[in-house]
Structure 1
């Protein structure tokens, strides 16, 4: 599989053939869904239903790590937590076709949550508490932990080694990242040990779909071990809304308030990771089309300023 174009061979015929190979016969209807890390498609079936086919990026996760993602999703679904879990075919969820690894999911619609609604935030808080309750049963062994190595060191190396970063900004970017890394390390040391649980990992509003019956979570592709607050901070824009989220959370699980001090550190780590992720994936033709701003020096200048502000806040 070419690293320069990892999905070049993923034609519509290959996608439909993968669905057919699982025994869920397609009718030719195919819609590309919004996804950059992986490739995701809605596929119509002969019986009138739809499935969502997710093709995993080559080289990102090994089979054991994907297996843990699927097992966690199925465990959550068995606990009646509304998570879209992969379909099982002859005891397997991770399938292969034409050199690609993929999984099929039931289609579940929904709209964006209203994150200004205290009622909706309390509802999400209750569900996340239950999700984390399941997450405490056992650890991940293959998916890693949310830490500086994963979200700062690796992404920073990708950015520093990329042609995207303008040469005249190399030293300024490196210095900004080092300052953030030191500040994050100091914050984690000051907070001290906190419980690590299996997390959704990327619980931003785009991974929550709301229906008339309430919300459900999608896309556990970034599931890792980490502090519970990682699944909370992206859903609440200010302290009042965070209080509503924690009000619901506390109805099902105790929340360690010392974790709140980790939010600025987690936010700064995500900023570093975002730029490094784009740089690391720039060889994928989808990325220059989706993130053209990353090829402009002014964007990196602003990113460096943002990193200094994050370090100052910490």
Structure 2
């Protein structure tokens, strides 16, 4: 099994790595809220001698290939070239040609400018419509070419892998195993029955939730493309939807009113919202199970080992199975 640990990533190693890449911190390291990778904010002087905030992101060993990480960097560069506000890694002149990905002590890492802002507020219709415009522009760039080294968002192999992980998870209470298997199996089968190949798959942000959308006086900035993958456009839209059916349809209409200024949307993808929601529930559980050997996970996600959590997930999957039988959301605008 791949080594997912960060046990050798000490503060001294981090500072040495940053300095070797060409930045010289003038402050301590502030660990940011990231569990998949290790991310630290620090102050350093830029080339003009002015102090600025930066972020060092150390990629989890064994997760992505170097080629896949560089595709993440290339995608953000393509978006920035199209004047879409994203945070790109710095090309530090440690060597020629310049690179955005560095290695130190067996860890791969990248450096970013630190960007401030507050979380987007989905109940603010102007912000939601503006997000739609940003995503329309993002997807227009995403359509230009496919990823070569990053996987599809949903695949049979990946879903089966998640299923095996959960069924063999020692944290699943014995008393709930039968009920969990009884609901997980039909949900997985329903997702697999979908002909995913009939939908256009493009380069996506992939993890477009409120925490990755920063709003400031300068407008909206999209951050953290670590989960960018190839998939249907609706993946970057549905996580903004909440509330009852009427509320979700109004939110979706607002998003698409901005989105369609720059990119066409295929209404057939509305049928994928609930399957993608179910897939994310399964994927998140499997992610926690696989990462449980990382000491940061038991400390931060202790509820994953409690029977109550698994009871709640059984209920959530039952609700998703019922949602599959419901008709897709309607577009009030008639797109």
How far off its partner does 1:118 sit? 1.2
Taking the aligned partners of 1:213 and 1:50, their CA distance within structure 2 comes to: 18
TM-score using structure 1 length: 0.95
Unaligned runs of 5+ in 1: none
Q: Which residue of 2 aligns with 1:13?
A: 12
1:51 counterpart residue number: 54
The question of whether the paired residues in 1 share the 8 Å contact of 2:86 and 2:222 is answered with: yes
Aligned to 2:210: 205
Query: TM-score by structure 2 length?
Result: 0.89
Indicate whether 1:269 and 2:313 are aligned: no
CA shift, 1:155, in A, is: 2.0
Supply the distance in 1 between the matched residues of 2:197 and 2:10 (Cα, whole angstroms): 49
Q: Hey, what's the Cα distance between the residues in 1 that align with 2:293 and 2:25?
A: 31
Match of 1:294 in 2: 304
Aligned to 1:256: 266
**Equivalent position SS for 1:102:** strand
Deviation at 1:151, TM superposition (A): 5.6
Q: Which residue of 2 aligns with 1:164?
A: 171
Q: Distance in 2 between matches of 1:151 and 1:252?
A: 32
1:151 touches 1:270 (CA, 8 Å); kept in 2? no
8 Å CA contact 2:76, 2:87 repeated in 1: yes
- In 2, distance between residues paired with 1:223 and 1:140? 9
Deviation of the 1:11 alpha carbon = 1.1
Q: Hey, what's the Cα distance between the residues in 1 that align with 2:223 and 2:265?
A: 23
**Structure 2 unaligned runs (5+)?**
243-247, 325-335
Q: Render the CA deviation track for 1:133-171: whole Å, top value 9, x for unaligned.
A: 100111001111011436632222222222111223233
Which deviations, in whole Å up to 9, do the C-alpha atoms of 1:147-204 show, x marking residues without a partner? 1436632222222222111223233322322111122233x23x87111100000000
Give the CA RMSD over aligned residues. 1.7
Residues 253-283 of structure 1 show CA distances to partners (whole Å, capped at 9, x for unaligned) of 1111111111001001001111111011000
Corresponding pairs, count: 311
Q: Could you tell me whether the CA contact under 8 Å between 1:146 and 1:226 is conserved in 2?
A: yes
